[in-house]
Amino acid sequence: MYKSIRTLSLFAATLLVGYSALAQDNVIDEVIWVVGDEAILKSQVEEQRISMTAAGEKINGDPYCTIPEQIALQKLFLHQANLDSIVVPETSILQQVDAELNYYISQIGSKEKLEEYFNKSYNEIREVKKDQVRDRETIKQVQKKIVGTIKVTPSDVRRYFETVPKDSVPFIPTRVEAQIVVLEPRIPQKEIDAVKDRLRDYADRVNKGESEFSTLAVLYSEDAESAKHGGELGFMGKGQLVPEFANVAFNLQDPKKVSKVVETEYGFHIIQLIEKRGDRVNCRHILLKPKVEESAIKEALLRLDSISNDLKNKKFTFDEAAQFISMDKDTRNNNGLMLFNDPNTYSSTSRFEMQQLPPEVARVIEDMNVGDISKPFRMINKNNKEVCAIVKLKSRVEGHKANASEDYQALKQMVEEKKRNEIIQSWIKKKITDTYIRIKPEYNKCKYQYSGWVK
């Protein structure tokens, strides 16, 4: 259902660190730091330490020194956000909150188990999560404004490379570019009709009051994650759902009625409204996928084998095959060139490290030479459907120690990151000197990352 939701670990430290307010209130409180007009409480530090320990995150040094400093740094950035009137749109915050909480629930088992884990109601957890996401995104915006536009010249990259010790020169892993042609095995109309009939039968049973939608979802839905929760998806904005699904879900009015059958790239669905809140909707669905017969897969593989032979005989180009034959909408308008969306930089690249490729593609490409076209093979696409494909290895750069001529872009990114960190570090040091800071005497002996805290 989701266009893209980042893969998160339920107990990942980066997501639990901001959850200090969710822990048990069993620490005798006292103010241990004051940053500007903001207090840092002993209970905050203790609760954050518990969260980080539960997450399995290593705490470098004394937690009662490092954690207060981390909180103080956050307060410096948030104070600057107030001065600069930086506000993150509420809709953006709510989308991230709902996505992350829905993922938590899918991993821990139920909303009730989540409430039990944090010893808070779902609404209380959600409000704390909103504050956490708001602070996190606000700090990102502040840092972006502090850094501004970084300009890196070829001479900057060359100087950086020349000053890096030989034993510290980064290793660039093997990277490849690949083009792909995909065929989806033909599904007989009778199989599609049978799936639609089953869904219509489920809808009739719910509309007549003979069955509960949630029970049918648990028993029959092929969306394994939502089926665990009776088909419930949690609150979503339109942009988080595929268009065909969103158009129907947002037009539902009566929670007692079930939608008509909806077709998406995932299969066929029926939908039941649970609740609407402004520009978000919570609904249940049942997903069924028409079964692909083995004969249809063999037929697609034979067709691709014929296409592969025609390509090798130069009857047409791989680019043309991708544009006019491939059924992969993500690549066919790009001459079949596969793209990797980097979750860290939010950028796209055609150069994959081997582990970033779909496993079936990586296995095929491993022993290919540049320009080779593979034999047809089966693979599971991003929508969890079995498809058939051929690939062409467009380029390969073997793993190696970085060098200025071949790895300019990678080195340029390293220089940009270095400059970004230097600007942020410089800003922090100056901000500390310009801000009123008071630390309880017993915390003055700590070894802090920044020496300017203790005045």
Which residue ranges form the domains of the chain, and what is each CATH number? 13-150+418-453 (1.10.4030.10), 175-186+293-401 (3.10.50.40), 189-288 (3.10.50.40)
What gap in Å lies between CA 314 and CA 305, rounded to an integer?
14
Over range 165-194, report the average pLDDT. 92
The angle subtended at Cα 15 by Cα 14 and Cα 19, nearest 5°, is: 115
E strands in 20-115 = 31-35, 38-41
Contact 378, 388 (CB under 8 A): yes
Considering only CA atoms, give the Rg of the chain: 27
Express each pLDDT in 129-147 by its tens digit: 888 889 989 999 999 999 9
Across 122-136, 196-210, 325-339, 364-378, least confident range: 122-136
**DSSP letter string, 202-266:** HHHHHHTTSS-HHHHHHHH-S-HHHHTTTTB--SEEGGGB-HHHHHHHTT---TTSBPPPEEETT
User: Which amino acid does the sequence have at 55?
Assistant: A
Confidence (pLDDT) at 18: 42
Across 89-103, 313-327, 381-395, least confident range: 89-103
Over range 203-232, report the average pLDDT. 93
Question: Mean pLDDT across the chain, nearest whole number?
Answer: 86
Express each pLDDT in 343-357 by its tens digit: 555 567 898 999 999
Contact 272, 231 (CB under 8 A): yes
What gap in Å lies between CA 273 and CA 248, rounded to an integer?
10
Farthest-apart Cα atoms in the chain, separation: 81
387: enclosing H helix or E strand: strand 386-397
What gap in Å lies between CA 182 and CA 390, rounded to an integer?
7
Confidence (pLDDT) at 95: 74
Q: Where are the alpha helices (DSSP H) in 252-348?
A: 294-312, 318-324
Confidence (pLDDT) at 224: 83
Question: Greater confidence, 236 or 210?
Answer: 210
Which of 70, 65, 21 shows the shortest CA–CA distance to 43? 21
Q: Which residue has the tokens 């890096």?
A: 164
What gap in Å lies between CA 299 and CA 187, rounded to an integer?
11
Confidence (pLDDT) at 335: 94
Enter the pTM of the model.
0.60
C-alpha distance from residue 318 to each of 341, 373, 432, 453 (Å): 23, 9, 59, 62
Confidence (pLDDT) at 10: 29
Is a pLDDT exceeding 50 seen at residue 25? Answer: no
Contact 285, 233 (CB under 8 A): yes
Is a pLDDT exceeding 60 seen at residue 442? Answer: yes
Percentage of the chain modeled with pLDDT above 70: 92
**Residue 352 φ/ψ, nearest 5 degrees:** -105, 140
Beta-carbon contacts of residue 180 (< 8 Å; ≥ 6 apart): 322, 326, 328, 331, 336, 338, 361, 389, 390, 391, 392
Express each pLDDT in 381-404 by its tens digit: 887 788 999 999 999 989 998 888
Contact 300, 288 (CB under 8 A): no
How many Cβ atoms from other residues are within 10 Å of residue 72's Cβ? 22
User: Which amino acid does the sequence have at 10?
Assistant: L
Indicate the SS3 state at residue 133: helix
Contact 45, 71 (CB under 8 A): yes
Confidence (pLDDT) at 343: 55
Extract the tokens encoding 283. 């609904």
Confidence (pLDDT) at 54: 64
Indicate the SS3 state at residue 56: coil
Contact 328, 182 (CB under 8 A): yes
Indicate the SS3 state at residue 341: strand
Express each pLDDT in 245-296 by its tens digit: 999 999 999 999 999 999 998 999 999 999 998 888 999 999 999 999 999 9
